[in-house]
Structure 1
Amino acid sequence: MTISLYEASVGVFVPYLGNLSVLLDHASAHARARNIDPAVLLNMRLSPTMYSLKQQVAEANRHAVVAGALLAGRAPHTFSDSEPDIAELKSRISAAIDFVKGLPRAEIDAAADKEVAFTFKNGTQRKFTGKSLLLTFSVPQFFFHVTTAYDILRHAGVDLAKKDFLGPPG
């Protein structure tokens, strides 16, 4: 059985970005119920050297968008540099979902052996084939950031369970 690169990218990124948005709904409700400034949650991190919750969400978006764009041969969607609140983060997740869903299936599926270069924030690049980008870099990075966002919220006392991370059965 063959699994397409489209299903392994868009088919994975879209539902888990949706789940990440729902996690932010839980964070918002938690902040309201406990009279906590939501910015406190957004700026939380598990360790002083790790990204904050808002940065974890941004990185999950970035990995989904950049991977999809590289596989499809398109320019990636860009996000505002403004300081986001929870509503803005949810809007950015929605934009990331719309972007990856709008990418052409045929071009992504044809990208397995295509050479692509991921550009890091510091400007350095790392070359991959489309398949290796997706399977050994972008999907693991994406899940690292989604998982860490979940973990920050759990650590903050937000009432979450594994089912919130996994989302509804698909």
Structure 2
Amino acid sequence: MFSYYQLSVPVYTRALTQLSHLLDKAMEFALSKKVSDETMLGLRLAPDMLPFVKQIQIACDTAKFAAARFSDTAAPKHDDNEKTFAELKQRVEQTIAFINSIPEAAFANASQKTIQLSFLPNPMTAEVYLLQFVAPNLYFHISTAYALLRSNGVEIGKADFLGQV
């Protein structure tokens, strides 16, 4: 049986590490094509969709808040004011550092938690939160970031998303 720590921290670390790799590829592309960070960070798949920068911010928030909620740890605050790839990379790295700073023992009671999110009407069990909210939300935003980069010419493929298995 897997623990909540095993199903969160290493999984989120891997996903965010690959997200950081995608940001590296995007930075290289922007430099080589002389595209501004502002332009790249504003990319959208549809006019009513959140831009690239928000995809990164939400992916980080999803991971940090899940780890914090499962471990009764205060998550670091981010002002959501990143304007460059370097600032986004720093946010990803800070998120990875935060979730990895939480000791595994802090997750001991995670399975008994009830999670209430202010924007949802009903609380969730820890299992529902982990499997039906956090996992799809994290991968949705990372996949959307990937799609934005790929659809705008950044040379990335599935291996850039998955990393080494």
State the TM-score, normalized to the length of structure 1. Answer: 0.91
Deviations 1:120-146 (A, max 9, x none): 4xxx56411222211110111000000
Using the aligned pairs only, state the percent identity. 35
Aligned position for 1:40:
39
- 4+ runs deviating over 2 angstroms: 80-84
Cα deviation for residue 54 of structure 1 reads 0.5
Residue among 123, 130, 140 paired with 1:127: 123
Aligned position for 1:165:
161
Aligned position for 2:151:
155
Structure 1 residues 161, 126: closer, same or farther in 2, change over 3 A?
same
Cα distance in 2 for residues equivalent to 1:105 and 1:118: 24
Q: How does 1:22-37 map to 2 (within 5 A)?
A: 22-37=21-36
The reply to whether residue 141 of structure 1 matches residue 140 of structure 2 is no
Cα distance in 1 for residues equivalent to 2:107 and 2:134: 14
Cα deviation for residue 101 of structure 1 reads 0.7
Range moving further from structure 2, 107-116 or 45-54 = 107-116
Unaligned regions of 5+ residues in structure 2, if any? none
Aligned position for 1:12:
11
Aligned position for 2:62:
63
State the TM-score, normalized to the length of structure 2. Answer: 0.94
Aligned position for 2:105:
106
Output the amino acid matched with 2:4. Answer: L
Provide the alpha-carbon RMSD of the alignment: 1.4
Deviations 1:30-87 (A, max 9, x none): 0111111122111001111111110000000010011111111122111123242100
Cα distance in 1 for residues equivalent to 2:117 and 2:74: 12
Cα distance in 1 for residues equivalent to 2:78 and 2:55: 14
Unaligned regions of 5+ residues in structure 1, if any? none
Aligned position for 2:90:
91
Aligned position for 2:76:
77
Secondary structure in 2 matching 1:118: coil
Equivalenced residue count is 165
